[in-house]
Amino acid sequence: MLLVPQCIDLLKGLLEHGRLTLKQMFDRVNSAVREGKSFVVNTLNRKLVTLDSVQETLIKLVTARYVERCPAPEPVLAPPPPKDNASTQKRGAKTQQIEEPKTREQEVLEAAVPVEAIRFSVITNTEPDVDGEKKEIKSSTVTAREKRKYDALESDEFGAAETVVYRANFEEFIRRLRHKACVDSVRARLDDGAATVLSAMLDATRNAETEVKTKKSGPSAASFGGGLLLTFFWFCLVGLLVHPLLASPSLGVLGSVKARYVSLSMSSIYEEVIKNEAGRNMTLEHLRASLAELSNPPVVKGSDDSYSIDFEKIIELAHTDEVESVVLKRYGRDAYRIFRLLSKEGRLMETEKIADATFVGKKDAPKVLYKLWKDDYLHMEKLVVAAARQMQFLLWKVKKETLWKHVLDEMFHAALNLRIRQATEVDKEKELLLLPAEKRTGALHDRNNRLRNVKILIQSSLVKLDDSIMLFYDF
């Protein structure tokens, strides 16, 4: 556990400076130790940290994918292949629609990103040993094909530990926060048992996730290899780092993960559930009941003793819950019932049918619907029926994709307004803030307390807004 505070120190440096070499991390940590600003336990006696200790910490961070190597600054692009008119003409129209040529920017970005074995690996000692061979410590296992690529680049910019540049891997943090949001959403909708089962399934399938916005965890014909991750994901930065399993050697399988999706059997889910403290006393019958709960709505899909997670459905339900809470607070109970009905139905409904289904007065329902439509929370269509006399009906619907973008835009504006309000409050009291604390007495003391309370309220509101923005923007 002595290395855990160093993990915080290294990540703090990477977040502050963007990217650092191993030597720069070593210098920065020891500088913080001398000044007494380090999280390292040795700060108490101001004992400097060794390079080996920093290297070992970096290996653990890279192994857990919290840190990665920076892309190549000058990627080498292969010359474009010559255009073959004859072969192009032989291709069918269907093939031409599927194959879209990549832009030069896309080719540069793809060429700059190292292969997985290099992206998440560390060479900690490039000095030759007594046998004339290099000693290497890698944070991930390397396949034979990737090893050839690794050796080819080893003598270049990736070859020396002093020149390799590292940065924080934000994708991994967002992925784990996305998992946390999924578990929290299921816990709020169902119960702790269902959340525990989903948490265990997420732990077991995290190896197979190659994208942050993975839609589904399975199914796949490929077998799931490389072991199971045992890391918890419901903590944020410090919580993720201080967990003792961060140092587990089982995390070393990350470097050999391929782009694949997996499904889990009942027995594999149960084995993963009982490893966690929350599911240690869960029985197989309780597990079956929780999986049944998770299948309605189908956030977990199962068939033939094979279960997979539907991330897309979980995030959609979380979006709906968030918007429904906004509608309830802003427009009241009647608007909430109407919006909830239209959200569940997912189709156009006529005004009178909406009023009957939600028990809202037929005089009040059109007013509520019009207000929601005016604020872009509902979509409206007019239906004109030509009979003995012409009649017009108003049809209403929730268009979720459009609405999610609108709500996200409102959140961005709300965050901006809060920051402007905070800056205005501080600017109004700038003379007060210049006074020493002992002189802020009487009325000045009351003004200082008011400013502090306003700042606390705005900061807490911004934190909640950040969570909501991440739900709609990043997840």
Least confident residue range of 219-223, 278-282, 428-432: 219-223
Do 189 and 265 have their domain in common? Answer: yes
* Total count of residues recorded for the chain: 475
Domain-located, residue 96: no
Residues 427, 419 contacting (CB under 8 angstroms)? no
Do 24 and 154 have their domain in common? Answer: yes
Do 200 and 225 have their domain in common? Answer: yes
Residues 112, 75 contacting (CB under 8 angstroms)? yes
Helix (H) or strand (E) holding 343: helix 333-345
Do 184 and 156 have their domain in common? Answer: no
Do 416 and 450 have their domain in common? Answer: yes
For 294-299, what is the mean pLDDT? 86
Residues 395, 381 contacting (CB under 8 angstroms)? yes
Out of 131, 146, 168, pick the residue that ends a domain: 168
HSE toward the beta carbon, residue 94, CA cutoff 13 A: 0
Helix (H) or strand (E) holding 87: helix 85-90
* Helix boundaries (H) for 223-278: 237-242, 266-273
Residues 2, 41 contacting (CB under 8 angstroms)? yes
Query: What is the structure's pLDDT at 112?
Result: 64
CATH of the domain at 378: 1.10.10.10
* More confident position, 370 or 143: 370
For 145-159, what is the mean pLDDT? 46
Out of 284, 309, 334, pick the residue that ends a domain: 309
Query: What is the structure's pLDDT at 152?
Result: 47
Segments forming the whole domain that contains residue 18: 4-76+107-168
Do 155 and 188 have their domain in common? Answer: no
Share of the chain above pLDDT 70, in %: 69
Determine if the pTM surpasses 0.75. no
pLDDT in tens, 110-137: 666 666 677 777 765 544 444 444 444 4
Rg of the chain over all Cα atoms, to the nearest angstrom: 28
Do 305 and 323 have their domain in common? Answer: no
Do 155 and 248 have their domain in common? Answer: no
Strand order in the sheet with 390-397: 349-350, 390-397, 379-386
User: Over 80: is that where the pLDDT of 391 sits?
Assistant: yes
Out of 270, 289, 309, pick the residue that ends a domain: 309
Is the bond into 297 cis (omega within 30 degrees of 0)?
A: yes
* More confident position, 6 or 226: 6
pLDDT in tens, 217-234: 654 333 333 333 333 333
Domain-located, residue 97: no
User: Over 50: is that where the pLDDT of 388 sits?
Assistant: yes
